[in-house]
Amino acid sequence: MEKERKIQLIRESIKQNRYPLNYEWRSLYADSNCYSYALGSGYKEDRHSEEYIYNLGCMSGYDPPKDNKEAEEAFMSDMQVLGIKVKRSNLGEEIQEGEWKVALFFGYYFDDYFKIAFRDFHFARQNINGNWSNKEFIDGPVKELGSIPEYCTELELVGYYMLKVDGS
122, 145 Cβ separation under 8 angstroms: no
Q: Which amino acid appears at position 42 of this protein?
A: G
How many other CB atoms are found less than 10 A from the CB of residue 106?
25
pLDDT at 25: 61
43, 127 Cβ separation under 8 angstroms: no
pLDDT at 131: 92
DSSP per residue, 138-162: TTSPEEEEES--TTS-SSEEEEEEE
104, 123 Cβ separation under 8 angstroms: yes
Q: Provide the percentage of residues in the chain whose pLDDT is more than 70.
A: 92
Name the more confident of 22 and 43. 43
- Nearest partner of 102 among 110, 113, 90, 111, judged by Cα: 90
pLDDT at 109: 80
Tell me the β-bridge partners of 122.
105
Query: What digits encode the pLDDT tens for the residues 99-142?
Result: 999 999 999 887 788 888 888 999 999 988 899 998 888 778 88
pLDDT at 32: 83
